[in-house]
A and B are shown apart, each in its own frame.
Chain A
Amino acid sequence: MRIYLDHNATTPIAPSVLEILIAAQREQFGNASSVHSFGQIAKSLVDDARASVASLIGGRPQEIIFTSGGTESDNLAIRGVAETAASSKRRRLIVSSIEHEAVLNTVKALGKVGWSTTFLPVNDRGIVFPEALSEAITDDTALVSVMHANNEIGTVQPIPELAGITHRYGALFHTDAVQSTGKIPVSVDALDVDLLSLSSHKFNGPKGVGALWVKRGSRLAATMTGGRQERNRRAGTENVPGISALGAAARLAEKKLATRGERATAELRNRLETGVLANVPGTVLNGNGADRVPNTTNISFDRVEAESLLIALDLEGIAVSTGSACSSGTLEPSHVLRAMGLSPHRTQNSIRFSLGLDNTTAQIDHVIKIMPRIVEKLRTLSRSGSPVRS
């Protein structure tokens, strides 16, 4: 049995979405900017998708800019706002300390070219507290960016409150909603944000396509310059098949959310979480007590290196990820868990399970069943941290 529990990394494309992707790729090769009928058909596919994506987040179609994915959307939001603000007195960017690297490293890069940057702390549940923003924000703040749901622990941030504070200082508010879109209802009005990033492959769409929603009237400079696509805000020939498939994924997600389909995922997640915490000794839930997206759980396993547990689980056909960003081979403790004030030990022993539409009760029960044995084996046979010799 192969069990995929890493949906926050990416999700399998939904069969109906795949059909649309293939059909567009095969048959609709027209350039959406072309005047002729080939172009018109392509353009209508993009327009349909724009309406679907806007509908999913409660925005207007003309407020959607299609991009290559979440990272580009984050870059466009931050760099695009920064560039328009460059001529004003606003020289400060504020983000949370648990943002995705796409936000963190973009802001750090701008910090090196003269921008003042502030990284907001989080509490031990992984929540940005609004008081911290109230203290940090200044009249010269151009943009505040706080993610909607965290990718590692799934905590949902108090975006409306944070956005309200931001607006009182006349600054713009961006949220990276890559990990919440499609998982929970997302409404740009309710969130009160000015910019919102989303990514197709996190909710059963294809990779390489995403969107940035920009509230009508917000000033934003293009970071990708060239042709006049996307209302002059994102140059380059549209990825028509990808965009069309993103639209299909958005419609699928909206339909699922309309029938509260996310509750099934929450039930499975809770079953997994309760089962692992009850059956494996020495486990602790990270982000406990906070509002979380329904598909994510992050658990620390005492006396087990997360890296070893990930491999041992993979050898059993179970795909999870570590809280640490060690895909590149560097073992940096998770900046998210560190920001929550967790001990280095606990940050290095954490595993993220993230569920999706394809998971079943039988799969979750299988994981709960074999988990104690795997962890016990690692604890007894594989001495975590072999003795250091002088």
Chain B
Amino acid sequence: MRVVAAMSGGVDSSVAAALLADEGQDVIGLSMQLYDQREGDIKFGSCCTLNDLHDARRVASILGIPHYIMNFERQFNENVVSNFVEEYTAGRTPIPCVRCNGDLKFTTLLDRARGFGAPTVATGHYARVVQAEDGSYLLKRGLDATKDQSYFLFTLNQSQLACAKFPLGTLQKDDVRLYAENRALPVARKPDSQELCFVPDGDYATFVERRTTKNPKPGPIEDIAGRMIGSHTGVHRFTVGQRKGLGISSSIPLYVTALDARSGTVTVGPRHELERSTLHASDVNWVSGNPPPTNYRIAAQIRHQHRAANATVSALDRGRARVDFEEAQPAITPGQAVVFYQDETVLGGGWISSSD
């Protein structure tokens, strides 16, 4: 069986490809060129892309598999980067990796793979796909709890999961590095990426300002009672739950509790003001294809680094859902994803639109 391995040049996707190749599968390595690498040429040394693609090519060469770089700049820009910029300017905090997985790796790349006679795309995600007795596909957490990435895959549907392979889902990160060492892959000790690939310096605000067509709007910073206690240069510089960088002196620590892009208002308050018991989500995907009954008991995860909390979920009309937590949760952030788990299984998820 022919399989396409999406190779970013990192240790995880390299080992995913290696595991399949070592099983004797007919593996084709594909790397996605996502943004203009000439930008990287100018700042040579500061941008990782060229080196990453080079690493992917070297790994493929060691594995003895064909490797190609495909240009997805246009798709990445349209599906991922534009949304990232729009979300920040709308006062939300986006997760571009989710869109890259759903719209690029398991849509565009999968399409290309099919054209090459490969019905399956494998990635280096720490997550599992398990086929249930009824033939349907279940998306489950990776067995390495500290590395689990199922949160980033909640948009996948049944037909995408049927074509997805996550060879690292049952492995621990240490084992992955060990495999890379034993296989003498040059990326064995490469550090994990910490930042978004297209904003390598981590300065999201500057990136958004460079890309947005609208001029960032300055506005007031207000306390919970609506009193103006400071000012700022644009809501895209803030995220709900943020404490640092507010430029306000206060006897108690203040956190961003809300962002209103329309009026340009940043609201701050003490920590307890961040807590909410209910959230609304939009563009909800149910992995099985069907929503569960109303007030269904699940564990809801509201950030990648959040321990899923007990809650009930109810599907609403127009792809929306309401989540009611047993205990109030701090910093429910619009733009982030809420993912619904039943034990290890992802039932679905959506984008947080509001909380109360």
Decide yes or no whether B114 CB sits under 8 A from chain A: yes
Chain A, residue nearest B50 (CB): A329
Chain A residues with CB under 8 Å of B36's CB are 330
Q: Are A386 and B71 in contact (CB under 8 A)?
A: no
Listed stretches B72-80, B200-208, B209-217, B333-341; interface member: B72-80
Q: Are A329 and B71 in contact (CB under 8 A)?
A: yes
- Knowing A311-B68, A388-B78, A389-B79, say if A330 contacts B115 (CB, 8 Å): no
What is the bound-complex CA distance between A370 and B74, given in angstroms? 30
Chain B residues bordering chain A, tally (CB within 8 A): 25
Question: B142 → chain A, closest Cβ, in Å?
Answer: 27
Interface string of B45-82 (1 = CB under 8 A from A): 00000000100000000000010111101110011000
What is the bound-complex CA distance between A381 and B36, given in angstroms? 27
What is the bound-complex CA distance between A378 and B114, given in angstroms? 8
What is the bound-complex CA distance between A312 and B117, given in angstroms? 9
Chain A residues with CB under 8 Å of B15's CB are none
Q: Are B71 and A330 in contact (CB under 8 A)?
A: yes
What is the bound-complex CA distance between A312 and B38, given in angstroms? 27
Q: Which secondary structure dominates where chain B touches chain A?
A: helix
Decide yes or no whether B112 CB sits under 8 A from chain A: yes
What is the bound-complex CA distance between A381 and B115, given in angstroms? 5
Chain B residues with CB under 8 Å of A312's CB are 115-116
What is the bound-complex CA distance between A378 and B117, given in angstroms? 9
Q: Residue among B103, B115, B116 with the most chain A CB within 10 A?
A: B115
Decide yes or no whether A315 CB sits under 8 A from chain B: yes
What is the bound-complex CA distance between A312 and B68, given in angstroms? 11
What is the bound-complex CA distance between A328 and B36, given in angstroms? 10
Q: Are A331 and B117 in contact (CB under 8 A)?
A: no
Question: A72 → chain B, closest Cβ, in Å?
Answer: 22
Decide yes or no whether A291 CB sits under 8 A from chain B: no
Q: Say which residue of B33, B37, B74, B115 sits within 8 Å of A377 (CB atoms).
A: B115
Q: Are A311 and B37 in contact (CB under 8 A)?
A: no
- Knowing A311-B68, A329-B53, say if A382 contacts B78 (CB, 8 Å): no
Q: Are B70 and A330 in contact (CB under 8 A)?
A: no
What is the bound-complex CA distance between A329 and B50, given in angstroms? 10
Decide yes or no whether A314 CB sits under 8 A from chain B: yes
Chain B, residue nearest A324 (CB): B71
Chain B, residue nearest A314 (CB): B66
Q: Are B53 and A315 in contact (CB under 8 A)?
A: no
Question: B260 → chain A, closest Cβ, in Å?
Answer: 23
Q: Are A386 and B111 in contact (CB under 8 A)?
A: yes
Chain A, residue nearest B41 (CB): A328
Chain A residues with CB under 8 Å of B37's CB are 328-330
- Knowing A311-B68, A311-B116, A389-B79, say if A331 contacts B111 (CB, 8 Å): no
Decide yes or no whether A308 CB sits under 8 A from chain B: yes
Q: List residues of A (114-141) whose CB comes within 8 Å of B's CBs.
A: none
Q: Are B114 and A381 in contact (CB under 8 A)?
A: yes
What is the bound-complex CA distance between A383 and B108, given in angstroms? 8
Decide yes or no whether B107 CB sits under 8 A from chain A: yes
Decide yes or no whether A326 CB sits under 8 A from chain B: yes
Decide yes or no whether B315 CB sits under 8 A from chain A: no
Decide yes or no whether A48 CB sits under 8 A from chain B: no
Q: Are A315 and B116 in contact (CB under 8 A)?
A: yes
Decide yes or no whether A307 CB sits under 8 A from chain B: yes
Q: Are B66 and A383 in contact (CB under 8 A)?
A: no
Q: Say which residue of A311, A328, A377, A386 sits within 8 Å of B70 (CB atoms).
A: A311
What is the bound-complex CA distance between A388 and B103, given in angstroms? 9
Q: Are A315 and B117 in contact (CB under 8 A)?
A: yes
Chain B, residue nearest A377 (CB): B115
Q: List residues of B (166-213) whose CB comes within 8 Å of A's CBs.
A: none
Decide yes or no whether B28 CB sits under 8 A from chain A: yes
Interface string of B11-38 (1 = CB under 8 A from A): 0000000000000000010000100111
Q: Are A382 and B38 in contact (CB under 8 A)?
A: no
Q: Say which residue of A307, A328, A382 sits within 8 Å of B114 (CB atoms).
A: A382
Chain B residues with CB under 8 Å of A329's CB are 33, 37, 53, 69, 71
Q: Are B70 and A315 in contact (CB under 8 A)?
A: no
Interface string of A359-386 (1 = CB under 8 A from B): 0000000000000000001100111001
Chain B residues with CB under 8 Å of A386's CB are 75, 107-108, 111
Q: Are B116 and A331 in contact (CB under 8 A)?
A: no
Q: Are B38 and A330 in contact (CB under 8 A)?
A: yes
Q: Are B111 and A382 in contact (CB under 8 A)?
A: yes
- Knowing A381-B111, A386-B107, say if A330 contacts B33 (CB, 8 Å): yes
Question: B102 → chain A, closest Cβ, in Å?
Answer: 10
Chosen A-B contacts, 8 in total, with CB atoms closer than 8 Å, are: A311-B112, A315-B117, A330-B36, A331-B71, A377-B115, A378-B115, A382-B115, A389-B78
Residues in A lying within 8 Å of B, measured CB to CB: 307-308, 311-312, 314-315, 326, 328-331, 377-378, 381-383, 386, 388-389
Besides A330-B37, A377-B115, A381-B114, 18 new A-B residue pairs in contact (Cβ under 8 A), listed by A number:
A307-B71, A308-B70, A311-B68, A311-B112, A315-B28, A315-B66, A329-B37, A329-B71, A330-B71, A331-B33, A331-B71, A331-B73, A331-B74, A381-B115, A382-B115, A382-B116, A383-B111, A388-B78
Closest 4 pairs (CB-CB, A-B): A382-B115, A331-B71, A381-B114, A329-B33
